[in-house]
């Protein structure tokens, strides 16, 4: 095939760039936007537009009168047809009325079951609210993160030291994404090494903090952001202490979205507490009430492999400070102490590292 195929993504990026320029120059302003929203005059909206805001449209439809003009405009036979229509309407009026009354009741009940006049109806709304509350309790989403950070949050120096070990993986990259960028420690490290990067975080205060430092950070959900970026446009991904804050299903979705967003060969690194060390899995992991569940390293490795990442590897670090003394006589006792040290006081964090497959 001689002709080059058409790169739709690149084309649409140009299209959006043109729109952005026109917005900046004021050519595409509110006046043009208003033109694009002018409704079709002379009656109801097109149904697919109604579906965009079904609750408002439902309220409108419920109050709508049905009009019917029985007059026929046909020459000669017209008056006869009109007379016949009027006669049928008057003969069937009570029967039609009864049917319509029942339909009206069904419509009102259905509308009330979901939403009525902008108010969530008790049953539907209450269920939804209790679900939301459950999720909030489950993930302690209401915890004031600054207070929490002050007491339990990692020390900046420690985090910096941990993250430093991974910066070199991203050498020469131009657009590395730090998922859950927090205080921007990793972004700073990237900048120091001349690597292009940006962050995404849910917490508006963290986002503001980073922006004040001059970093590009978006306030968004990880998954939403990964799905929005152009395919292959991110050439590295770092996510420190993110995976333990989400449920396994969402983690898999995020990995899948990473696969799409990452350019071929781009590295990705997830850092999370190492539950293989019992003092972590049984104690320190749970110091953060927003932690949902620990992820064993073997399982995380498996997730990455299943989602098609290559060269997947696990690296543990952060040895525990407290350890049993190993300077006991050589032999069974020292072996046992070593085993106990590994099991109880092993490395506290681990990173699972992989690369996006090429092509």
Partner 1 sequence: MRIHQFHPVLAQGDAMSNHVFALRKKIRHWGFESFAYAIEAKPGVADVRSYRRLFRDVQPDDLLIVHFSMGSEVVDQLIKIPARRVLVYHNITPPEFFSGINPHAAAFARLGLRQLARIAPEFELGIGVSEFNRRALQAAGYEETTRVPILMDWDHFAVPPSDTVLARWRGVRTVLLFVGRISPNKRQDDLVRMLAYYRRCIDPEAHLVLVGAFRDQPQYHARLVALIERLGLGGAVAFAGGVDDASLLAYYQAASVFVSLSEHEGFGVPLLEAMRFRLPVVAYDAAAIGETVGSAGVLLRERDLAEAAEAAALVTERADLRERLIAAGEKRVSDFDPDRVAERMRQVLGL
Burial 131-167 (b: 16+ CB within 10 A, else e): eeeeeeeebeeeeeeeeeeeeebbeeeebeebbeebb
- By CB under 8 A, tell whether 212 contacts partner 1: no
What's the CA gap between 40 and 48, in Å, rounded? 13
Out of 13, 24, 30, 35, which residue is the one contacting partner 1 (CB under 8 A)? 35
Segment near partner 1 (CB under 8 A); pick from 12-20, 150-158, 245-253, 262-270: 12-20
Nearer to partner 1, 14 or 90 (CB): 14
Count of residues that interact with partner 1, criterion CB under 8 A: 33
Q: What is the 3-state secondary structure (H, E, C) of 334-354?
A: HHHHHHHHHHHHCEEEEEEEE
What's the CA gap between 81 and 71, in Å, rounded? 8
- By CB under 8 A, tell whether 110 contacts partner 1: no
Burial 13-48 (b: 16+ CB within 10 A, else e): eeeeeeeeeeeeeeebeeeeeeeeeeeeeeeeeeee
- By CB under 8 A, tell whether 63 contacts partner 1: no
Out of 28, 114, 198, 317, which residue is the one contacting partner 1 (CB under 8 A)? 28
- By CB under 8 A, tell whether 32 contacts partner 1: yes
Nearer to partner 1, 6 or 212 (CB): 6
Segment near partner 1 (CB under 8 A); pick from 46-54, 109-117, 217-225, 300-308: 46-54
Smallest distance, Å, CB 91 to partner 1? 22
Task: For Cα atoms 198, 200, 202, give the angle at the middle one, nearest 5 degrees.
Answer: 160
Nearer to partner 1, 22 or 127 (CB): 22
- By CB under 8 A, tell whether 71 contacts partner 1: no
Strand partners, 197: 176
Three-state DSSP state, 234: strand
276: region left, alpha or beta (phi > 0 left; psi from -120 to 50 alpha): alpha
Nearer to partner 1, 28 or 198 (CB): 28
Out of 30, 47, 75, 330, which residue is the one contacting partner 1 (CB under 8 A)? 47
Burial 330-357 (b: 16+ CB within 10 A, else e): eeeeeeebeeebeebbbbbbbbbbbbbe
Nearer to partner 1, 28 or 317 (CB): 28
Q: Please check whether residue 145 is in contact with residue 205, taking contact to mean a CB–CB distance below 8 angstroms.
A: yes
What's the CA gap between 277 and 82, in Å, rounded? 88
Out of 27, 110, 208, 324, which residue is the one contacting partner 1 (CB under 8 A)? 27
Segment near partner 1 (CB under 8 A); pick from 36-44, 270-278, 311-319, 339-347: 36-44
Smallest distance, Å, CB 19 to partner 1? 5
Binding residues (CB under 8 A) for partner 1: these are: 1, 3-6, 8, 11-12, 14-16, 18-19, 22, 27-28, 31-32, 35-36, 38, 40-48, 50-51, 61
């Amino acid at each position: 095939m001689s002709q080059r195929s058409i790169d739709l993504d690149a084309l649409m990026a140009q299209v959006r760039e043109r729109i952005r320029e026109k917005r900046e120059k004021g050519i595409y302003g509110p006046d043009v936007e208003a033109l694009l929203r002018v409704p079709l005059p002379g009656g109801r909206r097109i149904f697919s537009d109604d579906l965009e805001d079904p609750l408002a449209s439902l309220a409108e439809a419920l109050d709508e009168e049905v009009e019917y003009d029985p007059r026929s405009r046909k020459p000669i036979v017209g008056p006869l047809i009109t007379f016949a229509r009027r006669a049928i309407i008057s003969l069937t009026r009570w029967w039609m009325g009864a049917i319509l009354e029942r339909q009206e009741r069904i419509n009102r009940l259905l509308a009330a079951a979901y939403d009525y006049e902008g108010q969530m109806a008790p049953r539907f709304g209450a269920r939804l609210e209790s679900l939301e509350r459950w999720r909030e309790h489950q993930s302690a989403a209401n915890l004031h993160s600054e207070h929490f950070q002050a007491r339990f949050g990692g020390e900046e120096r420690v985090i910096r030291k941990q993250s430093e070990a991974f910066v070199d993986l991203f050498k020469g990259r131009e657009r590395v994404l730090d998922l859950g960028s927090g205080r921007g420690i990793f972004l700073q490290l990237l900048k120091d090494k001349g690597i292009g990067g940006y962050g995404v975080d849910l917490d508006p205060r963290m986002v503001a903090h980073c922006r004040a430092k001059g970093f590009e950070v978006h306030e968004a959900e990880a998954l939403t952001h990964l799905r929005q970026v152009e395919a292959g446009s991110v050439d590295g991904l770092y996510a420190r202490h993110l995976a333990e804050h989400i449920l396994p299903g969402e983690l898999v979705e995020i990995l899948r979205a990473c696969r799409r967003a990452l350019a071929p060969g781009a590295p990705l690194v997830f850092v999370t507490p190492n539950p293989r060390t019992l003092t972590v899995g049984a104690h320190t992991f749970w110091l953060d009430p927003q932690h949902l569940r620990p992820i064993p390293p073997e399982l995380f490795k498996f997730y990455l492999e299943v989602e098609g990442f290559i060269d997947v590897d696990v690296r543990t670090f952060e040895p525990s400070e407290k350890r049993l003394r190993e300077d006991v006589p050589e032999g069974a006792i020292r072996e046992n102490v070593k085993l106990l040290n590994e099991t109880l006081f092993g490395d506290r964090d681990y990173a699972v590292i992989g690369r996006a497959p090429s092509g």
